[in-house]
Amino acid sequence: MFPAPDYDNPTSRENAVSATNRQTTKKETILSLLFLAFLGAIFLVILSVQSRFNPAVENFAPKNIGTEASNTNEPADNLSIPLSAGIKTMSSPESFTPDTLSNKINGKAELYLSAGFVQLQAQRFRPIDDPEAWFEVFVYDMGTPSNAFAVYSTQRRKDVEKLPLTQHAYRTANALFFITGRHYVEMIAATRGEVVPPMLIAFAKKYLGHVQEDGQTEADASDPKSVFPTEGLIADSIALIAKDAFGFSRLDQVYTAQYHGPDTEMNLFVSLRPSSKEARTLAEAYRDFLIQFGGTEVTGPESSPLAGLFIIRIMDAHELIFSRGPYLAGVHMADDIAAAGKLAVKMDRKLAEMGIAK
Amino acid sequence: MSPAVSNPDRRAFLARLAKAGLLATATGIAGFKLYDGTGPSPSSADQTALTLPEYAIDDPSKPQRRNRLAVVHGNDRKQTVNQGLKALGGIEAFVKKGERVLIKVNAAFASPPALSATTHPDLVTELVRLCLKAGAAEVRVADNPINDPATCFELTGIGPAARSAGARVMLPRTASFQPVSVSGGRLIKNWPVFVKPLTGVDKVIGVAPVKDHHRSGASLSMKNWYGLLGGRRNIFHQEIHNIIYELALMIRPSLVILDGTTTMMTNGPTGGSLADLKQTDTMILGTDPVAVDTYGAGLLEKPIETLPHIAKAEAAGLGTTDLDAIEPIISNLG
């Protein structure tokens, strides 16, 4: 036991003071560090748990309720479009990744994600002298020109005016849509009117000049289109389904085209597969898929306009499927089986003319 | 005995040490007794989450109930909504004097009214006016948009329209959400819901445009409640029909209004081009959301078999797809 300090004794008082001011021992320092390390470990565990927070409450933070700058996981590239005379920016640029795309376009995000979406940049602009005629520019980086064509073609509006801006470009009363390189671009105005089309076209030209300066050039995304027979083909009807074509998960990169039929339009499709064997295997798998979902295979005279052709009757329509070389092709949901058979034969002949062996 | 033992300071120190020891021991025992090694179970979590109250004014599960659906053809929203309400007994059948009313709009996108991706501001103005005229103590207009809320409410015109008509616009804030569970639901369990605008209201009116939807096939009155969800709600896109069905279970509105004056036929839910739109000149009002959406699907030219959430809602007793059975009141304003 320590003796009690005698505060009347100067020597004892000095000893007591020196005891309270003494240097900590090495043992005490190590113990303190161990305690601090333990507390630090608890802090790290809490951080780790918090980082895997219940998604139900994750977005309680105001930043996720939707501020423009918060929708990106990466630093946003400003669109940096040189503005036409009389145009000014109306909002900050927004940037969206695959994880955040639905924060901008909600239910349509899947269309882009399934086609290889990389990034969206969007920004609103307006004429200086007409605030009501504001417009928003969406630049979707789809990774490849083919992917850009997929989202462009599957959303293409009817009865539009084609534009010579790029190989694939058109406008409607209030909007302008085109592909440049791997980018699909939408320019959507809040109003219609005489000033809108020239305003959007001028803006698009500025944009195109800008991206070409950046070294991007337009590539022809639609080479596989050339396999479609031209007779009966409805103009601007060729589209690319990037994934899950006709509800079949194994069917991707399928080009479709509309054809005039005797009574109704017909939908011809073609997909280039890695090999002849794969094309045939996929044709069989697609046939089996349709049968699994209630289809019945049609046999007999009407099923033989083409060797190796599968005809499946499903939901009061017919699906015709065949392969030639590495191409899987067919007619989708045809009402008129005879007309569809002729169209399939026409497609097969076109492939043969291209030197594709059976 | 050493001199230190008799020292009063040391005695005091030992007394304090004993007290601290007792306190630490008591705390340890209490902690041990209160420790829940298994954690909360899903059922007990449900009990802590809210369940939204009933706002419906009648029981849609009764097939004999009539005056559940009014359809008005015309291109003037103010006229068609008035005519539709008149057919259902007038706004007074839904809003009583002194009541608080929530008008749940679709303000999902920062999109101009011309694109019909959101509730039209003219419809908001007229509904707010009618509710206030009926004696409503307060009319709230709210949504939790996909894009930035303030921008959405301004650019859609809904915010200015609501405010100028005398409504209170409620934007989502952090504290506006509370966990909600749906009885019998699988997806909406302890999920954050934009509860603040519902707090204290007596009646809820859903007002939505008729739209194509890439994921669900259609965006109609039941899909409109998606705008009450918070959190990472986009994960529900993988189960879009189930979430719409559970939303219909979650909230039973007093009235739903489906604006098919202009219908977004393609490229929904955002659209973007006037070429996506079709003038269908139809306003649909009803207390039966299933019947309302069944009629709306017709405007989109989509068989209801392609919209499974409608059949699910019907099976759950939320309404009927048999429009003949409820005898819709159809009028034409030319």
Q: How many CA atoms lie within 13 A of A313 on its CB side?
A: 9
B305 touching chain A per CB within 8 A: no
Of B116 and A81, the structure prediction assigns the larger pLDDT to B116
In Å, how far are A233, A296, A331, B191 from A268, measured between CA atoms?
9, 20, 4, 45
Q: Does A110 touch chain B (CB under 8 A)?
A: yes
Within 13 Å, how many C-alpha atoms sit on residue A297's CB side? 14
B95-112 b/e (C-beta count within 10 Å ≥ 16 → b): beeebbbbbbbbbbbbbb
Task: Tell me the pLDDT tens digit for each residue of A221-280.
Answer: 446 778 899 999 998 899 999 888 998 999 999 999 999 988 889 999 999 999 999 999
Alpha-carbon distance of B176 to B171, in angstroms, equals 9
Cβ–Cβ under 8 Å, residues A243 and A115: yes
Among the listed residues A244, A259, A276, the one whose alpha carbon sits nearest the alpha carbon of residue A150: A244
> A residues 120-179 near B, CB within 8 Å?
124, 134, 136, 155, 157-160, 172-175, 177
Instruction: Give the mutation candidate from B120, B151, B267, B270 for the A interface (greatest A CB count, under 10 A).
Output: B270
Q: Where does residue A115 rank: exposed (0-12), middle (13-18), buried (19+ CB within 10 A)?
A: buried
In this complex, which of A60, A157, A175 lies closest to B177 when CB atoms are compared? A60
Res B290: pLDDT: 97
> Mean per-residue pLDDT for A300-307?
70
Which residues 211-240 in chain B show a CB within 8 A of chain A?
213-216, 219, 230-232, 234-235, 237, 240
pLDDT, mean of residues A32-38: 92
Closest Cβ–Cβ partner in B144, B216, B273 for A107 = B216
Residues of chain B where predicted confidence (pLDDT) is lower than 70: 1-8, 37-48, 59-67
Which tokens go with B104? Answer: 């749940």
Distance from the Cα of residue A306 to its chain's centroid: 37
Q: How far, in Å, CA of B93 to CA of B95, rounded?
A: 6
Contact B4 A2 (CB under 8 A): yes
CB–CB of A64/A70 below 8 Å? Answer: yes
Structural domains of chain B sorted by starting position, each given as residue range(s) with its CATH number in brackets? 69-332 (3.40.50.11440)
Instruction: Please state, rounded to an integer, the average pLDDT across all residues of chain A.
Output: 83
B179: chain A residues, CB-CB within 8 Å: 56-57
Give me the pLDDT at residue A15, please: 53
pLDDT score of A195: 87
Count Cβ–Cβ pairs < 8 Å, chain A vs chain B.
131
The 10s digit of each residue's pLDDT in A159-191 is: 899 999 999 999 999 999 999 999 999 999 999
Closest chain A residue to the Cα of B175, Cα to Cα: A60
Out of B9, B112, B232, the one facing A55 most closely (by C-beta) is B232
Residue B44: predicted pLDDT: 44
Binding-face residues of A in 57-96 toward B, CB within 8 A: 57-62, 65-68, 91
Quote the CA–CA distance of B283 and B121 in Å, as a whole number: 15
Are the beta carbons of B274 and A103 separated by less than 8 Å? no
Residue B184 has a pLDDT of 85
Identify the pLDDT of residue B287.
Answer: 95
Stretch (H or E) spanning A207:
helix A196-213
Instruction: Tell me phi and psi for residue A65, to 5 degrees.
Output: -70, -20
Helix axes B240-250, B308-315, angle to 10 degrees: 40
Instruction: Inform me whether the C-beta atom of residue B109 falls under 8 Å from chain A C-beta atoms.
Output: yes
pLDDT digits 0-9 by tens, A116-144? 999 999 999 999 998 889 999 999 999 99
Q: Do A159 and B275 touch (CB under 8 A)?
A: yes
To the nearest whole angstrom, how far is the Cα of B313 from the nearest Cα of chain A? 21
**Residue A47: which pLDDT band, with cuts at 50, 70 and 90?**
confident
Interface test with A, best of B10, B143, B232, B241 (most A CBs within 10 A): B232
**For range A317-344, the mean pLDDT:** 93
Determine the residue among B188, B236, B273 to mutate to test chain A binding: the one whose Cβ has the most chain A Cβ atoms within 10 Å.
B273
Q: What pLDDT does residue B39 have?
A: 56
* Higher per-residue pLDDT: B203 or A53: B203
Residue A193 has, within 13 A of its CA and on its CB side, a CA count of: 12
Tokens 């009803």 sit on residue: B286
* Chain-centroid distance, C-alpha B286: 16
Cα distance from A135 to chain B (closest Cα, Å)? Answer: 9
Tell if the CB–CB gap between B173 and A192 is shorter than 8 Å. Answer: no
Nearest residue of B to residue A57 by CA position? B231
Cα–Cα distance for residue pair A79/B148, rounded to 1 Å: 19
Would you state the pLDDT for residue A61?
Answer: 35
d(CA A224, CA A240): 10
Q: Which residues pair with B178 in a beta bridge?
A: B193
Cis preceding linkage at A3, omega within 30: no
Residue A156 has pLDDT above 80, yes or no: yes
Beta carbons of B273 and A172 less than 8 Å apart: yes
Task: Flag if A105 and B270 touch (Cβ within 8 Å).
Answer: yes
Name residue, tokens 């359809």: B71
Report whether pLDDT(A14) > 70.
no
Q: Does B153 touch chain A (CB under 8 A)?
A: no
Say yes or no for a CB contact (<8 Å) between B114 and A109.
no
Q: Span A283-301, mean pLDDT?
A: 89
Could you tell me which residue, A66 or B280, shows the higher pLDDT?
B280
How far does A205 lie from chain B, in Å, by closest CA? Answer: 20
